[in-house]
Amino acid sequence: MALACCCLVALPVSARGQTSSDEGAIRQTRSESNAAIARHDVAGILASMEPDFRASTSNGDFIDGREAMGAAFTARFAEFQDATYVRTAESVEVSTSGPFAAEVGHWVGSWTTSDGPFRTGGRYVAYWRRAGGVWLIHAELYVPLFCEGAGCSS
């Protein structure tokens, strides 16, 4: 009986260790994605996404597929030379029953329009999946909660 108690105590520590390294990998991939956006490196941005990636954007549009997301970023960067987005994770929760994780945080997008600076942001949720030991984003949902500057309605 004492052995069983020791094993039960040791098991969560091991699981927590794996979860911690998975959380670190997800946070690192998010950091690399933010850096790629800052560089306007579309290939670098797409490296964090599954081929069948899906997104619900802050304006309510749906983007289906990694390549469609690449086209959206390419168009945004062509229109606004200083466009940037930063996603900051507040929590990353790794599933204990499968290769899944949820990231929740806040995001900010900014660029300069012909009428002046524009800044928007809000909350996001990302659904991550691990395959072949690599964490990739399966889907994201962006909810706008503020808008500042040129082009914002009252």
Could you give the 3-state DSSP secondary structure of residue 64?
Answer: strand
Q: What is the pLDDT of residues 73-95, one digit of tens each?
A: 999 999 999 999 999 999 999 99
pLDDT along the chain (154 residues), means of 10: 38 49 97 98 98 96 98 98 98 97 98 96 98 96 96 77
**Where exactly are the structural domains of the chain?**
2-149
Q: Which CATH number fits domain 2-149: 3.10.450.50, 3.40.50.980, 3.40.50.1240, 3.40.309.10?
A: 3.10.450.50
Alpha-carbon distance of 105 to 128, in angstroms, equals: 14
Whole-structure pTM value: 0.86
β-strand pairing of 49-56 with 134-149: parallel
- pLDDT (0 to 100) of residue 49: 98
